Amino acid sequence: MPSRHEPLARALILACRSRHLMVATAESCTGGKIASALTEIAGSSDVFERGFVTYSNRAKVEMLDVAEELIDEHGAVSEEVAREMALGARNRSRAELAVSVTGIAGPAGGSDEKPVGTVHFVCCGPGSRLVHVEKRYGPKSRAEIRDASTEQALKMLLEAAKSAAKPEAD
């Protein structure tokens, strides 16, 4: 039985394949669900280069070059850290497209400033274009927040892939 993300993942793979783009993911609260959605599609190795599951702050620093000072100043769940995660994933891979996700899936861990369901996404496309989205999913279950975050990240990657120029025909 295909996952609910299968149509979006398939569309992303086709868009990337037609534009000769590779994708990398940097995931925290989704724990690899974006990479999993992509690799469920046969032939995804044409476009999916690698995924980084950087659940701990130490992993973000070591694997993606996120500055510890940035995490200390803004917190792991922030636009600033999401931006560095996406750039780190792109810089540490052969991918032209990268997406990052960092958030609070709950049920604990939230605060008044960053309640459970707060998730930051950054997608970096070819060149220097960065797109940030902050979602406040509200009172949903951990599974619902992670699922909605996976969907959002795939949508952002698809939009970035579609906006990339197609290579000229030989």
Residue 146, pLDDT score:
97
Using only C-alpha atoms, the chain has a radius of gyration, in whole angstroms, of: 15
pLDDT tens digit string along 118-127? 999 999 988 7
Which tokens hold the place of 134? 């902050």
Residue 1, pLDDT score:
63
Residue 167, pLDDT score:
75
pLDDT tens digit string along 93-111? 999 999 999 999 998 888 8
Mean pLDDT of the chain: 95
H or E element, residue 123? strand 118-124
Residue 166, pLDDT score:
76
Residue 110, pLDDT score:
86
pLDDT tens digit string along 125-167? 887 789 999 999 998 999 999 999 999 999 999 999 999 877 7
For residue 73, how many other CB atoms are within 10 A of its CB?
11
Residue 41 has pLDDT above 90, yes or no: yes
Residue 73, pLDDT score:
98
Instruction: Characterize the bridge pairing of strands 118-124 and 130-136.
Output: antiparallel
Domains of the chain, start order:
6-163 (3.90.950.20)
Q: How far is C-alpha 63 from the geometric centre of its chain's CA atoms?
A: 15
Residue 2, pLDDT score:
66
